Structure 1
Amino acid sequence: MIEFNIFYKLAAALGIGFIIGMQRENSYSRNNSRHPAGLCSFSIVSLCGALSCYLGELMESIVPFVTGLVVVGLLLVASHVAYGLSNRGNGGPAGVTTSAALIMIYFLGALCWFNRLLEACILMIILLWLLAVKRQLHEFAKKLSSEDIMATVKFAVISLLILPFLPNHAFGPPGLEVLNPHTIWLFVVFISGIGFVGYVLIKVVGPGKGIWLTGLLGGLASSTALTLNLVGRSRDNEQYAADFTLGIVLSWSVMYVRLYLICVFLVPSLALPLLAPLLVPVVPGLGYALYLKIRESKNHLQKTTDFNNPFKLLPAIKFGLVFTVVMFLANAARVYLGSGALIACSFLGGAAEMDAVAFSLIDMCRKATLENHSLILALLFASLANTITKGGIVYFLGAKAMRRPIIPAVVLICGVTVAMIGVYSVV
């Protein structure tokens, strides 16, 4: 009796090999190069990966899979030797990118046999992307300096080697257990990480576009961390002050959108009540960001100064300590002033980080201990404090050239927020 599931898995393996093989064939034709492994080879090897697993199940042995892998490896070695002999003195050795991709295709074929189709497709897309942008990745690697490499190593150390070993529980006086070493260091890593990702964007697309793209991405993660990072960068790269201001204003605007999406995701019934109070302040922020972009668009072509490396751990640690102190004071206000002082607690908490305030308010709303009207006012006061705090950070800690342009952003966003507070206080 025919088992169609077998042919389905074999067809999936064949399709994956076919797609990667097409990319390789296209790459050869564009670069006027050749390699023994093309569309047919990739399709056959992927199919062999699945068939070897099928035979292994029938024989109840791993030998077919291992034998197939060894045969594919030997064929690749033989092809590289033949290529080297036929092109002796006519250039360097053949690259191993296609050979490595062929080995991976063998394993992807095996994944298809075991019905891990989603994983196989995701890995295929990643492989396809790596092969498609190979030249761009090589060019990007050539632009890196030894300082850039060391920055990567340092960031890996603080995020992968230090963070996992810090205790992940809170310390502090009774009722104020908010000093969590893991959370504090995570904020330090977060600030450094935003700067690192932004630096990569700047290297790839240039300072002008890279900085405002960093602002958009940073606003989706944490506008406070983004502001802290770009402010620190501005002192060493003052010629990009306008770009830093643009990135910061964009992150402030995106923060309101992120806050709205978080609230609606956790409590869908809040979609309509929070629509105006959280999305109206986005309009002046984006409008002013557009004004800055138009005003500075011509200057981007004139800026040729190298952009300094982003990794500076000491400022990130200092900002992490400031963040901890503010959070401690906000929680102290909540404990000692009581739940009746909701607006004051939200205002103080928002000065440090909006997400912490939003999650606590949403939790109260889900437990039916907080009305929508009180929730809206608390969120508006928290966002007002957050914008004022970030504006103060830019004005007092950023480059001098950022002081004048940041004031209109603070005034516009805070003005609209205050207007919304007035409307909902009267209602």
Structure 2
Amino acid sequence: MTDPHTIATAAQPIIQIGMSLPDAQWPYIDSLTRLGLALALGLLIGLERERRGKEAGLRTFGLVALLGGMGGLVGDNYAYLVFIMTGGLAAFLNIQRLRTHASTELTTSAAMLATCIVGILCGKGHTATPASVMVTITALLAWKDRFANFSSGLTEAEMRSALLLAILAIVIYPALPIGAIGPWHLIEPRAAWLTVILIAGIGFINYVLWKIYGARGIALAGFLGGLVNSSVTVNEMASRAKDNHPETISAAYRGILLATAAMTIRNACILFILAPTAALTAAVPFAFMLLINAAWFFMDRNATHTTDNHQVGPVELPLPFSLRAAFKYGLLFLLLHIAGVITQDSFGELGFYAVSLIGGLVSSASAVAAAASLLTGNSISAHVASTGAVIASLASVLVNMPLVLRARNRGLIIRLSLAMLSITVVGIVGSLAAARLLPLLVKEVPFLAQFY
């Protein structure tokens, strides 16, 4: 009779070998969904590589992503094995490339390894992360020429500006103290610096788009210029209408309206990012302002005879970032923040509105950020903050009206003056309507109370 202990000992290696293989019952739909997402993302980047005539194209990247997805489903050990195999495939691709050409396929190899990792993430059940990563990688590959032209055209001053912005955002911001400081607790260094980074970041992205696309059309010139500084853009556009040529006048008219719309959108985004609880109240007047702006834009008599390819010349933008700009935005934000707190305590809401009006004449973006900061610090309500942001934006619209006089064209000046006045009026009406109607709406829909 055989000893049971001997049987168990002899069977142990067999059991261990069997346990090294996956024996779980996978849900069919879930597994198929994960593999389908991996395959779709691999085909996306493979399509871009195929279009450029690379040796590793649609099928190769699809298979690599699918292989990674299966590795993620099976387990970590198999995922590591799949990644190593993909690395070997990339090495083999470069060896073959060196035999027939004088260069390697480093970019394609890196994309192949990234595709494998994305497939593994899909196999493990991730969705948004691998999808966003793959879309970003595909965009980087597809915009190769634009990025190359942009990089080769960078000046030393522009490079220093980019590095300075990175230092201020990554190095200095984390080192700043958290919360209010000072004897009266009026200054919040992190809030002030975050505002500087946000405003400068918007300007930096706009500057990059400007460098890539140039001023090839009036829509691009007016809108991108308005994101950075609407007053500078309005001044430049109005000065070009001095020749009284119909197409130039139409270009200046549409460019100034687009710059005004861009300023409104920028201020709305700053408020929504820094103080989302004020979003509901501010959305009404901002929407009214943009609608009337769009109506005046499409009322241009010469709009059907001009195209966005009409050359209007570049708007001279400042460098994307500089210490002077940082100190300007930061100092103005602190002054408006302190003035807002003091006037709110001394004169109530009217005092804060007066500060928002004055701040909007200088820098509406800083005034909006200051209103959001006061709301975050519980110094004012969401309604007061949104009203102050709208007042600052309307002040920015009105301060541009004298700049229109540079056009020296009576018809253009009258049309733009009417447009800006109507934008101001509907902004005020929108604020009053929101103040009256939103409380009633919140009572009917309690879910909206968290935004009001």
- TM-score, L = length of structure 1: 0.69
Equivalent-residue separation in structure 1 for 2:390 and 2:182 (angstroms) = 27
1:241-390 matches, cutoff 5 A:
245-246=256-257, 248-254=259-265, 266=277, 279-287=287-295, 301=311, 303=313, 309-337=319-347, 341-349=348-356, 351-352=358-359, 353-354=367-368, 357=371, 383-384=390-391, 386-388=393-395
CA 1:360/1:167 → structure 2, altered by over 3 Å: closer, same or farther? closer
CA 1:126/1:383 → structure 2, altered by over 3 Å: closer, same or farther? closer
Corresponding residue number in structure 2 for 1:180: 188
Q: Look up the SS of the partner of 2:178 in the other structure.
A: coil
Displacement after TM superposition at 1:109 (Å): 1.7
1:58-137 matches, cutoff 5 A:
62=77, 64-87=78-101, 92-137=102-147
> How many equivalent residue pairs?
384
CA 1:379/1:141 → structure 2, altered by over 3 Å: closer, same or farther? closer
Displacement after TM superposition at 1:111 (Å): 0.8
Displacement after TM superposition at 1:68 (Å): 3.1
Corresponding residue number in structure 1 for 2:14: none
Counterpart among 158, 161, 173 of residue 151 in structure 1: 161
Corresponding residue number in structure 2 for 1:223: none
Equivalent-residue separation in structure 2 for 1:348 and 1:281 (angstroms) = 21
Equivalent-residue separation in structure 2 for 1:283 and 1:231 (angstroms) = 21
> More displaced, 67-76 or 242-251?
242-251
Q: CA-atom RMSD, angstroms?
A: 4.8
* CA contact 1:108–1:120 (8 Å) conserved in 2: yes
CA 1:133/1:358 → structure 2, altered by over 3 Å: closer, same or farther? closer
CA 1:100/1:421 → structure 2, altered by over 3 Å: closer, same or farther? closer
The residue type paired with residue 120 of structure 1 is P
CA 1:93/1:419 → structure 2, altered by over 3 Å: closer, same or farther? closer
Counterpart among 40, 50, 66 of residue 59 in structure 2: 40
Equivalent-residue separation in structure 1 for 2:324 and 2:195 (angstroms) = 13
Percent of aligned positions that are identical: 21
- Whether 1:201 aligns to 2:209 is yes
Which residues of structure 2 form unaligned runs of 5+? 1-23, 242-251, 360-366, 438-452
CA-to-aligned-CA distance 1:322-343 (integer Å, 9 cap, x gap)? 2321221221111123xxx333
Q: Look up the SS of the partner of 1:301 in the other structure.
A: coil
Equivalent-residue separation in structure 2 for 1:350 and 1:359 (angstroms) = 16
Equivalent-residue separation in structure 1 for 2:105 and 2:283 (angstroms) = 55
The residue type paired with residue 250 of structure 1 is A
